[in-house]
Structure 1
Amino acid sequence: MKQVLFLLLLVGICMPEAAAQSKGHLTGGLESNSIYYVKDSKLKDAGSVYPDDHFGSNNYLKLDYTQGKFSAGIQLEGYLPALQGYDIGVYGNKKALLGVKYISWQDENFGFRAGDIFEQFGSGMIFRSFEDRTLGINNSVEGLFGSYSYQDYITVKGLYGRPRLYTDYADSWVRGADLSISLASIANWQGILLNVEGSYVNRNEEVAEDIASIAKPNVDMYSARANFDWNGLNGRVEYVGKGKDVSPVLMGTTAKGHGLLAELGYSNKGFSILGTYRELKYMSTKLSLTGNGVGNILNYLPALTRQYTYMLANLNPYQSNGEGEKGGQVDVYYSLRNKNDRSKYWNFHANGSMFYSDKATTVKSRLLWRDINADVERQWNKQLKTTFLVSVQEWSPTHGMDDKTYVSNIFVLDGQYKLDKKKSIRAEVQYLYSQDYEKDWIAGLIEFNLAPRWSFSLSDMYNMGTTEVHYYNGSVSYTRKNTRLQLSYGRNRAGFICSGGVCRYTPAYTGANLTLTTSF
């Protein structure tokens, strides 16, 4: 801890001095999210968990220095202790750490980075190292990264290092390479994008004695891809293969895995359509065979479904099944504009997604998820905008282990009215009808914005079916330049918090939440 604080102090002193002498550029950011948990008798049967001192706080301080082709940076993290629902508080063993450190150099052709590396090959099905503070994930690779590009024709990348697992590093090593060739650029085709690409990733780990008869030290993965874009028509296809690896559904045996992703889309003026299909089998790849939690993941398998911001539509989000799923979604969008008055328009949106389990993992193929939804957005004039959404969701509570499914019918009316250039008010009314699980819900929200600094909101989500519990929340936020401070208090339902289609479970809690974000 003393070494970390000394390094941070040294960087804080030296970076501004270096910037002044060499005309470099120093940027930074601070993010702090703290909760004081309050005991709530209404949540005693809802899986609520409270830390001993009723307090949790996740904090991130990031500094980056750039001068010409050179850059360097650090990120100091503090979990004092970690917020409830974050695996970093369960499997991590440090309250403060130097979470990210790097130096890099980049010109028109060559790139080099030493330290913690964030990178993705293709869609991420075989490799993605990234940070998502909402999920508590940081699986950056500590090591070396290099890249080379020759004009627009070819790009080659390579990396080697050990991945971060919560507050420490996994007992494994990752190496990988990625190649992209632009056939359109080589052939000098104008207005066309056509790339062929490929990747290779290897995870090496010393296998524990108790699983040495099953698992192997090396797991190899590869990817072959093609992307094109021409005259509003675009598509991509990716096939990945994976060597034998331990799978949680195989009960002590190993198997090879594979994945397929295909997308085809078209857009023209105010119309667009995109269809996506994905197939996964034994593709959940851990950083370490001995690690646990949502952060112990080497690849990226997001849910290819519509991502909602409305409370009831996001009550039971779909989580992808990397061990065996088949399905996809279709997304259609059309905008109708008034040629004489650009402040008036209609936006029509329809979406459908459906996924089934692989029969090899659940005895027979069963429905995991189905969502048929549509919404209409109407800008009536410069002041008033409304949105109406309907979503019919069917999902498996056992993730395909039996034939049981639950159905939710969700209706949302969202309206926003601008009182003047600075003041606006927004309101939501939501209703969920279901004969299954917790049955009916109703929710509402009202939000008042006083631009550019103040925002106030009140919301409530009430289960009318079985629990008869209110999940209320009130918040106020203040923004000044690059700093935003938000204070909220409320009761939160146990469930999954999702970001980019990847989810983590959070227990129910009631408490006060203080969030601070600033950049300089």
Structure 2
Amino acid sequence: MKKLILLLFFYSSLNSVSAQSLDGLRVGLESNMAWYNDDKKTGPFFDSENQDGDKHLRFNTYLKLDYNFLKNFTATAQVESYEPLALLNYSPNFEGTNLGIYSLNYRNSKLEINAGHFYEQFGSGLILRNWEDRQLGINNALLGGRLKYRPLDFLSLTGLYGKQRFGFETSDGEIFGFNTEIDLSTILKSENSSYSIGLSYVGRKEATKIEDPNFDELTNAFSGRFDFYKNNFYANAEYVYKSEDVTVIAGQLLNDFVNPGNALSINTGFSTKGFGIDATFRRLENMGFFSEREKTGNVYLENNINFTPALTKQHDYLLTNIFVYQAQSQVIFADPQLMEAGEIGGQLDLYYNIKKGSALGGEYGTKLAFNASYWAGLKGDFDYGNLSYDVDYLGFGSKYFSDLSLEIRKKWSKKWSSIFYFVNQYYNQKTIEDNFSGEQIQSNILVLETTNKLGKGKSVRLVAQKLWSNSENHDWVGGTFEFNFSPRLSLYVNDIYNSGLDSSTKETHYFNFGGSFNKGTTRLSLNYGRQRAGLVCVGGVCRFVPEATGLSASLLMSF
């Protein structure tokens, strides 16, 4: 707590100083607090990671400073505090108070140089992506150096070296990277269309303790991609090849199980007034890529070099996020009945606006959105005893997941609007969760939402939800009430309830109530309630959160 108080004092001091002299300084403060308490339904509070049930109060605090000085120079520093402990299910490497990231940067119209921590992405991220997401507990910034150079209008070059951050430390593995972007439309002087290609290389070098390894310390990955845009049509494709590397099962390196990996992604779409379509196909084979091999598949999402999010609809409602898909990019040989080498599938989005004044559109029109996604394992021959597999490139194996959704948005008057939302899902619990006793769950979810504007910034929002499934364990109902007193102040209460036979959730009300207040660049939110055990997902990337009950608060400030 003393360190937290010092951080807050430091922030207040900077606020005063910057107003007087440091015009180039930008400060951002984020503090997330939770008090976990015992509950008759969810049980007594206990942190299985830290083996401690006494420290009920937790803080994750981030103080970020960006300073522009001289010409074209910037400096960045982020102090982080996890005192007395980090929030539940964050990596135990987030401990104490320390300097999390720091960098010195130079940039002009042709050249950019970074020394210290930096974030980078090549292409779609299938070969390399470094980013921060505080909600998921991800910060895999590289500590080292990066140089970007644009010698010509149509050519961009990037070279980098670093070690990945985890907690306040860095990984043992070294990361090398090079990227080239070529704008062909500039070379061809094309005015009505855009063409570009990209080529990337990423190397991961990590020593191994295995005496006679069947794999190299340096794992190489290569990527090629093409992007095309013309009028209302677009298309892009990317292929990645990863050289042979040892397979890691449950943290163990299997020296006799060495395979290459690859990925293919194709996306295309078309849009015009009132109509849009987007389709994506992706195939992943043995594409787990980590700066430390033994961290493959870790639950804290640490040491990821590449980015393979689940390509499915990102739902907004409580019951539509009970069964969420995680991309299956790695080789799994957990059991003769549970063997995987990756995934294959895709998704389709359709958007259509029914015109105003038509029979179905009414006075204000009607908006329709349809999404379909399907994911399966790679079809092939798997040999558990000899640790080998041979998969068909375009073969679809056992079904993992499917999702069909239809959203209808209707405005009835200037003050009243509604959303009708239907979702049909298939969830193979055994393969997605590596759960030997998992079910094949089929569910239908209906959501009805309505919002009524009362004037002077006031509004009421109501949501009713229902989930039916073929499993006796899952029969959920939920609801939300939200009242906005003004654009600055809002309060809400929600609850979901399972009348099914699932022993972990049966007849438990997972209620939450709270609110938020905004003023300028400051936002404060408070919440009390129960957290259901399950996956929290942001942008297709998910992490598991345990069941808990307590009070949480969040403070965001910037200047």
Q: Please give the alpha-carbon distance, in whole angstroms, between the structure 1 residues aligned to 2:5 and 2:76.
A: 15
Partner residue of 1:395 out of 409, 420, 427: 427
In the TM superposition, 1:70-469 aligns within 5 A as 70-80=73-83, 81-87=85-91, 89=92, 92=93, 94-209=95-210, 213-248=213-248, 251-252=254-255, 253-291=257-295, 292=298, 293-323=300-330, 324-338=342-356, 344-360=364-380, 365-399=397-431, 404-436=439-471, 438-466=473-501, 467-469=506-508
Q: Is the alpha carbon distance of 1:47 and 1:398 closer, same or farther for their aligned partners in structure 2, counting shifts above 3 Å?
A: farther
Are positions 1:55 and 2:57 aligned together? yes
Moved more, 41-50 or 53-62: 41-50
Q: 1:156 and 1:165, CA in 2 relative to 1: closer, same or farther beyond 3 A?
A: same
Secondary structure of the 2:473 match is: coil
Answer yes or no: is the 8 Å Cα contact 2:155–2:183 preserved in 1: yes
Going from structure 1 to structure 2, the CA distance change for 1:16 and 1:207 (only over 3 Å counts) comes to farther
1:480 is matched with 519
Displacement of 1:28 after TM fit? 1.2
CA distance in 2, matches of 1:15, 1:491: 36
Q: Taking structure 1 as reference, are residues 492 and 4 closer, same or farther at Cα in structure 2, changes over 3 Å only?
A: closer
Q: Is the contact between residue 271 and residue 333 of structure 1 (CA under 8 Å) also seen in structure 2?
A: yes
**Inter-CA distance 47–270: structure 2 relative to 1 (3 Å threshold):** farther
CA contact (8 A) 2:36 2:45 kept: no
Query: Paired residue for 2:337?
Result: none
Bigger shift: residues 250-259 or 277-286: 250-259
Q: 1: distance between equivalents of 2:194 and 2:362?
A: 33
Q: Give the match's secondary structure for 1:439.
A: coil
Give how far 1:478 is off: 1.3
- Over residues 111-136 of structure 1, what are the superposed CA-to-partner deviations in whole Å (9 max), with x where a residue is unaligned? 11111010100111111011010110
Residue 209 (structure 1) shift: 3.6
SS at match of 2:213: coil
Q: Is the 8 A contact 1:48 1:508 kept in 2?
A: no
- Following superposition, the deviation at residue 488 of structure 1 comes to 0.7
Deviation at 1:280, TM superposition (A): 0.2
| Displaced runs of 4 or more, over 4 A | 2-21, 45-50, 249-252, 339-343, 360-364, 400-404
SS of equivalent residue, structure 1 residue 207 = coil
Q: Which amino acid aligns with 1:121?
A: F
CA contact (8 A) 1:47 1:508 kept: no
1:339-384 superposed Cα distances (whole Å, 9 cap, x missing partner): 7999823110000000001235977921111001111001122211
Q: Secondary structure at the match of 2:451?
A: strand
Structure 1: segments with no counterpart, 5+ residues: none
Residue 509 of structure 2 is aligned to residue 470 of structure 1:
yes
CA distance in 1, matches of 2:46, 2:399: 27
Q: CA separation of 1:406/1:503 partners in 2, compared to 1, >3 Å: closer, same or farther?
A: same
Once the two structures are TM-superposed, the CA of residue 476 in structure 1 deviates from its matched residue by 1.8
The alpha carbon displacement at 1:11 in A equals 11
How much does 1:208 deviate?
2.3
Cα 1:209–1:437 shift into 2, 3 Å: farther
Shift of 1:32: 0.8
1:69 to 60, 72, 88: 72
SS in 2 for 1:108: coil
Output the amino acid matched with 1:512. L
Specify the SS of the correspondent of 1:313.
Answer: helix
Change (3 A) 1:418 1:10: closer
After TM superposition, give the deviation of residue 230 of structure 1 in Å.
Answer: 0.3
Q: Which string of whole-angstrom CA distances, capped at 9 and with x for unpartnered residues, describes residues 234-263 of structure 1?
A: 010000000112333595522100000000
Match of 2:392 in 1: none
SS at match of 2:293: coil
Residue 155 to residue 470, structure 1, CA distance change in 2 (3 Å): same
SS at match of 1:398: helix
Change (3 A) 1:483 1:17: closer
2:54 alignment partner, SS class: coil
- Structure with bigger RCO (C-alpha 8 Å, 6+ apart): 1
Deviation readout 1:179-205 (Å, 9 max, x if unpaired): 010111111100211001110000111
Task: Encode CA deviations 1:411-438: one digit per residue, 9 max, x unaligned.
Answer: 0001111000310010100000012162
Question: Relative to structure 2, which stretch is displaced further, 477-486 or 147-156?
Answer: 147-156
* Counterparts of 1:339 and 1:16, CA distance in 2: 56
Match of 1:507 among 520, 529, 546: 546
Contact 1:19/1:25 (8 A) holds in 2? no
1:213 deviates by: 2.3
Write the distance in 2 (CA, Å) between the matches of 1:10 and 1:431: 48
Task: Name the CA distance, whole Å, in 2 between partners of 1:256 and 1:437.
Answer: 42
Give CA-to-partner distance per residue, 1:276-321, whole Å, 9 cap, x none: 0000000011121233431221110000000011000011110000
CA distance in 2, matches of 1:305, 1:515: 29
Secondary structure of the 2:228 match is strand
Q: Is the 8 A contact 2:526 2:551 kept in 1?
A: yes
Q: Which residue type is aligned with residue 232 of structure 1? A: N
Query: 1:47 deviation in Å?
Result: 9.6
For residues 47 and 332 of structure 1, do their structure 2 counterparts lie closer, same or farther at Cα, with a shift above 3 Å needed? farther
- Give the superposition deviation at 1:18: 9.1
What is the TM-score with the length of structure 1 in the denominator? 0.92
Report the residue type matching 2:539 in the other structure.
G
Aligned Cα RMSD in Å? Answer: 3.0
1:439-498 per-position Cα deviation (integer Å, ceiling 9, x unaligned)? 210000000012232110000000011211110000121111111111110011000001
Equivalent position amino acid for 1:382 in 2? K
Partner SS, residue 208 of structure 1: coil
Distance 1:18 1:31 in 2: 18
One-letter amino acid of the counterpart of residue 216, structure 2 = K
CA distance in 1, matches of 2:180, 2:324: 35
Verify: 1:34 aligned to 2:33, yes or no.
yes
In the comparison of the two structures, how many residue pairs are matched?
Answer: 515
Alignment-mate amino acid for residue 31 of structure 1: E
The equivalent residue for 2:389 is none
Q: Give the aligned partner of residue 42 of structure 2.
A: 43
Give the secondary-structure state (helix, strand or coil) at the position aligned to 1:479. strand
Contact 1:345 1:380 in 2 (8 A): no
The answer as to whether partners of 2:47 and 2:88 remain within 8 angstroms in 1 is no
- Larger CA deviation: 493-502 vs 214-223: 214-223
Moved more, 438-447 or 395-404: 395-404
